[in-house]
Amino acid sequence: MCDVLERQTMTQNSLSVKIALLFMAATFLIGGKAAFAGDNKVVLRLWKIPDKYAWRTADKAERAIYEKFRALHPEIEMVSSTGINLEGQASIDSVIMSIAGGTAPHVMYVNFRKSTTYIEQNFLYPLDEYWEEELNVKIHPEVWPIIKQKGPDDKEHMYTLSYGRPIVGALMYRKDLFKEAGLNPYKPPRDWDEFYEYARRLTKPEKGQYGWATEVGIPGAYMFCNFIYMAGGKDGGKIVEQQEDGSWRAVYNNTAGVEALRFYHKLLRDGLASTDMNNWHEGRAGMSFRTIQGDTLFDTNSNPEIIGIAPLPFGPKSRRGGEFNQRMLGISSAITDKRVRDAAWEYIKFIASDEADRIVSEVFVKAGEGKFLNPVLLRKFGYDEVLKEVPQGWIEAHEKSMEHINPEPYGRNCDMIYRELQYPVEYVGQHKDVDYQALLDKAVTHTNEKLIGEIPAEKMQQRRQIVAVVMLVLALVFVFFFVKFIIIMMQKVQESTVVPSGATVYGKTKWLLASLFMLPALLTILIWQYYPLFRGLVIAFLDYRIMGVTKFVGIDNFVTIFWQPEFWIAMKNTFIYVFLTIAIGFFLPVILALMLNEIPRGTLFFRTVYYLPAITSPVVIMLLWKQFYEPSPVGLMNQLIGILGIPAQRWLQSIDLAMICVIVPGIWAGLGASSIIYLAALKNVPEELYEAATLDGAGIFQKIWYVTIPRIKILLIINFVGAFIGAFHATERILVMTGGGPLLATHVIGLEIFYNAFVYVKFGLATAMAWILGALLIGFTVYQLKILRKVTFTTVR
């Protein structure tokens, strides 16, 4: 099916087919590696190969399963797909990026929240043909809706196979701190009132000890969800809900959401909760949430003597709930070779098999950690003797937790649900008085718009109208400047035709020869500059899919952009960035050049010194400075300001300083190179002019103002416009240094385009954004070209 679709997209674009033919031969010369190794082995790319030297028993078991599969299938060679982790974007699903880049794993890890996105984007290959086999797997009823989902073809397919036992949320607590606080370590809190009371008694500000620990940002939102589940139970504690028409809506502004947020806020406000998980790891927090992995009932890394585990407490209306999840595997739809697909299926089937369970059990029992295993496994594989060792408390905690479960949100774009939830959660962390309902209503509206794309038809219509007007204006601006541009360019026609020809060839030969000479350049520019431009014009109006069906969406991409807070944050940051770059960086090289011009001796020396950074690649400069910005007290910058008695700063990790920190290295590095050009221009100013000015009694500054500046004015203007436009496009440097963080403090428009395109694979949206940026700048670019057209360039003698 996937092949068909791919072919469809190919034929949609006849031009690309033609070009494809052109380059076909070349591609095969140094093209990508085939999926087969030399000895006829099938190469199977996994998202991660289990670590051979893993120390945790669970990881060892994973490795043992892998090794067994390897032994069973010597014909399959497994490799791991290595990607790059982008700076400051730990939450980004690098798998999606690698799908766009063509390096995605063949076997894809799927969980609840990612499932629908993967399916809608057509990343997963429907497994119906494979599911027809006799499969001896037991699947929890709550997992079925995730395995079997509606595909892009509007029909239901089996997309994944689950493995291992379900994962469920639970409460973990420290027995030692309980004891210290006079609480019974075998009686964990049963409801919210008790939870609050326990937290209060566990909190000891003088020791920096908290009742409950959570995290900030996305992990914090994930942790928070459990409160919603607890407050609403299975039916009420919903974050998203499927509507009758099959679409999904965020509903976390329901009573459960409000109750949860209120309770969470109370914990924080009363100082009982810490958002620093280190407090838990270092034994300064009495309680936190975690998951019971299913295969094991307790984390083998934790000490059962100290850490206790219990079901999440009852919420206010005697309801109870907790996160429910399941590990699943699917097959990438990018595989074109059936052999690879079959191999992928073999692998998945094995991971989900009884044999894999048996290996897990064996590894645990052999390691003497059998008691950590789910009793189901112990019984199944005849380790009944170990059963005696399993603490009754764990079994109870697991059973009780499994009674009240809330599946992790799935549905369209739910992979981003925690990103959305973090905003209200962060908000209450920073404010005293909060209208919970209003806050959540606002957040839900945003989520529905952004993730689910659900905007009331009326409102959408209204927005479309506004955007249509805006775009009309933009289009007019574009056309106006473009026409202006054409006029500027054509003005020269009359002037330059007067230049007589000197060529020795005439007529057809001349044409032929000229065409031959120009063909490579013209072709390159046609294919790699014009074609993308026109295509970009089209893509901006599409919901472009790299796999599956691309749809025409009109101006909706623009509508989405204009009502997306990230876009406006990025815009604001871009303007700040441009302003600061110009304000700090533009005049420094001019001043430097003026100074270099004045000194009688040592110009060459200083020039070389200042030029040093220009010979270093920008990425190296950025990474180098990043080292110097080390936020610990021993970092270079902190040591330097320490001399002046200023306390250590977090530099790139500080919301206030990050932007300036990103800008400084660029200016530092560019200083020498630009000043050299100015210096050359200064040397070209005729001496007589200065002499004349001296005779007129002009001082230094007067000479600079009246003589020097006018002579280098054109250079100043060109550089200014260049720097101005360049600053808008500054993406690479920020990507290297902060990736847009912390908390979007350095998130500029170029990054927003980059992330939307290559990380979230929303090419349509990203292209539309690029056009908006283009519209903002076209006036300047045309002005730039106008000046460039007016001048000729000469080299310095």
Partner 1 sequence: MPIIDLIGRKKPSIRILIITIYLLLSVGGVTMVYLYILMLSTSITTEVDRTDYRIVPTYLYNRQMLLRKYLFEKYNTALLPSRNNPALDEVYGTDYLKWDEIRLPEVDFTDSRAELRVRDWREFRESLPERYKQAGFTSQLGVVYKVDKLYQRMVSDRFGEDIKKLNKAYVEEHERFMTVLPPEERYLQRAWYPKKTTKQQEWEKFKDKLPEEYKVIISVDGLWQTWLSVKYDKDISLFNERHNTNYRAFSEIPLLPALPDREVERGDWIEFVKQRCPLHYLKVTRGQEEYQEFLKNRYDDNIEYFNKVHETSFASFSEIVLPLPGEETAAGRPSSWEISLVDWGIFVEKELSPEFIEVESTENLYRGFLKTKYGQIEVVNGKYGTDYNDWLKISAPYRECDLKDLSDHELAWRWYFLTNNYAIVINYILFHGPAVVNTIIYCVAMILSTLTITPLCAFALSRFNLRSTDKILLFLLATMAFPAEVAMIPNFLLLKELRLLNTYWALILPGMASGFSIFLLKGFFDSLPRELYEAATMDGASEIRMLWQITMPLAKPILAFLALGAFTGAYGAFMFAFIVCQDPGKWTLMVWLYNMNEWAPASVQMAAFTLATVPTLLVFVFAQKVIMQGIILPVEQ
Q: In the complex with partner 1, which residue's Cβ is closer, 523 or 655?
A: 523
Pick the piece of the chain touching partner 1 (CB under 8 A) from 186-194, 409-417, 521-529, 556-564.
521-529
Shortest reach from residue 778's CB to partner 1, in Å: 6
Report which of 577, 537, 563 is spatially closest to residue 470, judged by C-alpha positions: 563
What is the distance of C-alpha 741 from the center of its chain? Answer: 11
Shortest reach from residue 564's CB to partner 1, in Å: 17
Q: In the complex with partner 1, which residue's Cβ is closer, 136 or 501?
A: 501
Of positions 4, 25, 457, 634, contacts partner 1 by CB under 8 A: 634
* C-alpha–C-alpha distance, residues 147 and 363, integer Å: 29
Residues 670, 614 contacting (CB under 8 angstroms): yes
Q: In the complex with partner 1, which residue's Cβ is closer, 434 or 788?
A: 788
Segment 713 to 742, residues that bind partner 1, using CB under 8 A? 714-715, 718, 728-729, 731-732, 735-736
Segment 750 to 789, residues that bind partner 1, using CB under 8 A? 750, 753-754, 757-758, 763, 766-767, 769-771, 773-774, 777-778, 781-782, 785, 787-788
Read out DSSP for 617-640?
-HHHHHHHHHHHT--STTSHHHHH
- Contact between 55 and partner 1 (CB under 8 A)? yes
Q: In the complex with partner 1, which residue's Cβ is closer, 434 or 641?
A: 641
Side chain identity, residue 427 = Y
Shortest reach from residue 215's CB to partner 1, in Å: 22
Of positions 14, 318, 430, 497, contacts partner 1 by CB under 8 A: 497
* C-alpha–C-alpha distance, residues 297 and 396, integer Å: 10
With residue 213 as reference, give the H or E element that holds it.
strand 210-213
Q: In the complex with partner 1, which residue's Cβ is closer, 74 or 205?
A: 74
* C-alpha–C-alpha distance, residues 238 and 518, integer Å: 64
Phi, psi of 258 (to 5 degrees): -65, -45
Residues 210, 323 contacting (CB under 8 angstroms): no
Shortest reach from residue 488's CB to partner 1, in Å: 10
Of positions 152, 304, 536, 631, contacts partner 1 by CB under 8 A: 536
Segment 139 to 168, residues that bind partner 1, using CB under 8 A? none
Pick the piece of the chain touching partner 1 (CB under 8 A) from 168-176, 242-250, 429-437, 749-757.
749-757
- Contact between 662 and partner 1 (CB under 8 A)? no
Report which of 177, 109, 166, 126 is spatially closest to residue 143, judged by C-alpha positions: 166
Cα angle 767-773-778, degrees, rounded to a multiple of 5: 120
- Contact between 52 and partner 1 (CB under 8 A)? yes
- Contact between 683 and partner 1 (CB under 8 A)? yes
* C-alpha–C-alpha distance, residues 268 and 274, integer Å: 7
What is the distance of C-alpha 577 from the center of its chain? Answer: 21
Pick the piece of the chain touching partner 1 (CB under 8 A) from 133-141, 266-274, 566-574, 673-681.
673-681
* C-alpha–C-alpha distance, residues 290 and 157, integer Å: 32
Give the count of beta carbons closer than 10 Å to the beta carbon of residue 172: 21
Q: In the complex with partner 1, which residue's Cβ is closer, 180 or 191?
A: 180
Report which of 205, 203, 236 is spatially closest to residue 315, judged by C-alpha positions: 236
Of positions 36, 427, 485, 724, contacts partner 1 by CB under 8 A: 485
- Contact between 368 and partner 1 (CB under 8 A)? yes
Place of tokens 């009363």: 270
Strand pairing of 328-331 and 160-162? antiparallel
Cross-strand bridge partners of residue 291: 169
Residues 88, 741 contacting (CB under 8 angstroms): yes
Q: In the complex with partner 1, which residue's Cβ is closer, 457 or 634?
A: 634
- Contact between 360 and partner 1 (CB under 8 A)? no
- Contact between 97 and partner 1 (CB under 8 A)? yes
Q: In the complex with partner 1, which residue's Cβ is closer, 109 or 531?
A: 531
Of positions 237, 635, 740, 741, contacts partner 1 by CB under 8 A: 635
Peptide bond into 631 cis (omega under 30): no
Segment 691 to 710, residues that bind partner 1, using CB under 8 A? 691, 694, 700, 703-704, 707-708
- Contact between 100 and partner 1 (CB under 8 A)? yes
Convert 29-44 to b/e letters by CB count within 10 Å (16 or more is b).
eeeeeebeeeeebbbb
- Contact between 2 and partner 1 (CB under 8 A)? no
Shortest reach from residue 632's CB to partner 1, in Å: 8
Q: In the complex with partner 1, which residue's Cβ is closer, 531 or 724?
A: 531
- Contact between 790 and partner 1 (CB under 8 A)? yes
For 737, what's the count of Cα atoms within 13 Å in the CB-facing half-sphere? 34
Shortest reach from residue 109's CB to partner 1, in Å: 18
Shortest reach from residue 651's CB to partner 1, in Å: 15
- Contact between 437 and partner 1 (CB under 8 A)? no
Segment 278 to 317, residues that bind partner 1, using CB under 8 A? none
Shortest reach from residue 646's CB to partner 1, in Å: 17
Segment 63 to 82, residues that bind partner 1, using CB under 8 A? 67, 70, 78-80, 82
Q: Reduced to 3 states, what is the DSSP secondary structure of residue 486? A: helix
Residue 87's Cβ-count burial label (10 Å; 0-12, 13-18, 19+) is: middle
Segment 168 to 187, residues that bind partner 1, using CB under 8 A? none
Of positions 181, 365, 440, 553, contacts partner 1 by CB under 8 A: 365
Residues 362, 57 contacting (CB under 8 angstroms): no
* C-alpha–C-alpha distance, residues 356 and 360, integer Å: 6
With residue 461 as reference, give the H or E element that holds it.
helix 457-496
Place of tokens 């992790």: 408
- Contact between 483 and partner 1 (CB under 8 A)? no
Peptide bond into 742 cis (omega under 30): yes
- Contact between 507 and partner 1 (CB under 8 A)? no
Residues 641, 580 contacting (CB under 8 angstroms): no
- Contact between 391 and partner 1 (CB under 8 A)? no
Shortest reach from residue 704's CB to partner 1, in Å: 6
Phi, psi of 684 (to 5 degrees): -80, -10
β strands within 630-729, DSSP E: none
* C-alpha–C-alpha distance, residues 377 and 295, integer Å: 8
For 335, what's the count of Cα atoms within 13 Å in the CB-facing half-sphere? 27
Of positions 500, 507, 647, 697, contacts partner 1 by CB under 8 A: 500
- Contact between 83 and partner 1 (CB under 8 A)? yes
Of positions 123, 227, 383, 755, contacts partner 1 by CB under 8 A: 383
* C-alpha–C-alpha distance, residues 178 and 158, integer Å: 47
* C-alpha–C-alpha distance, residues 555 and 15, integer Å: 25
Shortest reach from residue 237's CB to partner 1, in Å: 38
Pick the piece of the chain touching partner 1 (CB under 8 A) from 392-400, 457-465, 489-497, 650-658.
489-497
Interaction mask 588-627, partner 1, x per CB under 8 A? ----x-xxxxxxx-x---x--xxxxx-xxxxxx--xx-xx
What is the distance of C-alpha 738 from the center of its chain? Answer: 12
Shortest reach from residue 359's CB to partner 1, in Å: 14
Report which of 389, 414, 475 is spatially closest to residue 249, judged by C-alpha positions: 414
Shortest reach from residue 630's CB to partner 1, in Å: 7
Segment 8 to 37, residues that bind partner 1, using CB under 8 A? 9-10, 13, 16, 19-20, 23, 26-27, 30-33
Q: In the complex with partner 1, which residue's Cβ is closer, 455 or 734?
A: 734
Residues 343, 42 contacting (CB under 8 angstroms): yes
Q: In the complex with partner 1, which residue's Cβ is closer, 97 or 110?
A: 97
Segment 394 to 413, residues that bind partner 1, using CB under 8 A? none
Shortest reach from residue 213's CB to partner 1, in Å: 24
Residues 420, 250 contacting (CB under 8 angstroms): yes
